[in-house]
């Protein structure tokens, strides 16, 4: 099979006109009879777009009108994640290939209308109009098969296109409500604001003993994890955080284990990693004797119905109330 493939490739290269280049790509162009899309070199060879944006732009241009091209729809089709696809769509939008606007329909529902333009600059020159037409080869040109592209694309015409023949059952497109009747829609930002970072914990009182012990723990971290090499300035800045742990009765071995376990490889900023763990993993203070004391419960005596007068009274066992007991005692006497 390999020999046949090499012979076929040799014959194909021999049929190319002119001498072959000593290096670089060699094109063997075979005409497409059907299922093709015309893509401009301004998109395929764009110098400012990423390769992901160029590929997604070519893919969207090859799809028929009405196809879903949202972030989740593209992420379910390709291996790139939603973050890379969203960034690529923003690139296409910044260079004029893609337009996403929020439109209010007649029923009041807001939808996102996505428009892809195969020539961004041509749609705005000279008052031209954008008309969706299918790519169909002229009937006057003889060809073995009609060159029909399966998907309609957007092309720019200098004058309005002729009215196409009416379709059997056209589906009416919802018309947006005029802007005068509805206020402009403010689309929220794609990037949520980041929460403020928590400050490094500090002890109630940084005594000389706490400072000495904390400095020794920080300086000795490289003996337990060779990646955590801290400078003197880093040690001095991180001493209050370790002192806060020691003030809460954390053992030095516990602090070393929390700062040196499961480090990212390779750690780019050791001081930032230590500061983050000292802040996020700070243990709570140990409970005192008052917090650990048992809770005193109040004894509640239940209500009983008197056997003589059926009056309610509180007692641990059924019987007679105080008045009935007094009458029984006087009668017995």
pLDDT at 228 over 60: yes
Contact of 156 with 119, CB cutoff 8 Å? yes
pLDDT at 310 over 90: no
* More confidently predicted of 193 and 118: 118
Phi and psi at 278, nearest 5°, equal: -65, -30
pLDDT at 237 over 90: yes
Assign 88 to helix, strand or coil.
helix
pLDDT at 321 over 50: yes
Q: Which 8-state DSSP code applies to residue 157?
A: E
Residue located via tokens 């930002």: 189
Give start and end residues of each alpha helix (H) in 265-321: 270-280, 289-292
Q: 25, 67, 66, 59: which is closest to 43 by C-alpha?
A: 59
Sign of the Cα pseudo-torsion (244, 245, 246, 248, in order) = positive
What does the pLDDT look like over 128-177, one tens digit per residue? 444 444 444 434 434 444 444 444 444 444 444 455 555 555 555 555 54
Assign 170 to helix, strand or coil.
coil
pLDDT at 69: 87
Q: Is 117 exposed, middle or buried (0-12, 13-18, 19+ CB in 10 A)?
A: buried
pLDDT at 236 over 90: yes
* More confidently predicted of 161 and 98: 98
- What is the Cα–Cα distance from 329 to 219, expressed in whole angstroms? 86
Average pLDDT over residues 317-325: 88
pLDDT at 214 over 90: yes
Percent of the chain past pLDDT 70, that is, above it, reads 74
pLDDT at 255: 92
Q: What is the pTM of this model?
A: 0.36
């Amino acid at each position: 099979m390999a020999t046949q493939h090499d012979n076929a490739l040799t014959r194909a290269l021999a049929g190319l006109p002119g001498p072959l280049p000593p290096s670089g790509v060699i094109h063997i162009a075979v005409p497409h009879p059907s299922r093709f899309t015309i893509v401009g070199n301004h998109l395929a060879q764009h110098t400012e777009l990423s390769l992901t944006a160029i590929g997604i732009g070519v893919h969207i241009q090859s799809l028929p009108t009405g196809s879903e091209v949202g972030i989740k729809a593209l992420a379910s089709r390709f291996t790139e994640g939603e973050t890379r696809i969203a960034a690529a769509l923003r690139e296409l939008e910044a260079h004029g290939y893609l337009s996403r606007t929020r439109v209010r329909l007649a029923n009041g529902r807001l939808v996102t209308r996505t428009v892809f333009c195969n020539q961004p600059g041509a749609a705005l020159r000279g008052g031209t109009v954008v008309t969706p037409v299918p790519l169909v080869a002229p009937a006057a040109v003889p060809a073995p098969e009609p060159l029909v592209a399966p998907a309609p694309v957007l092309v720019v015409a200098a004058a309005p296109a002729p009215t196409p023949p009416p379709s059997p059952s056209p589906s009416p497109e919802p018309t947006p409500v005029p802007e005068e009747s509805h206020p402009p829609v403010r689309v929220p930002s794609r990037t949520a604001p980041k929460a403020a970072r928590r400050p490094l914990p500090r002890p109630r009182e940084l005594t000389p003993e706490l400072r000495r012990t904390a400095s020794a723990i920080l300086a000795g971290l490289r003996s337990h994890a060779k990646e955590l090499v801290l400078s003197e300035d880093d040690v001095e800045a991180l001493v209050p955080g370790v002192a806060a742990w020691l003030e809460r009765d954390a053992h030095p071995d516990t602090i070393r284990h929390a700062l040196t376990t499961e480090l990212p490889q390779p750690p780019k900023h050791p001081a930032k990693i230590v500061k983050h763990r000292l802040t996020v993993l700070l243990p709570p203070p140990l409970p005192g004797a008052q917090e650990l004391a048992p809770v005193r419960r109040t004894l509640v005596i239940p209500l009983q119905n008197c056997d003589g007068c059926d009056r309610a009274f509180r007692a641990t066992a059924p019987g007679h109330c105080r008045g009935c007991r007094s009458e029984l005692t006087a009668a017995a006497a």
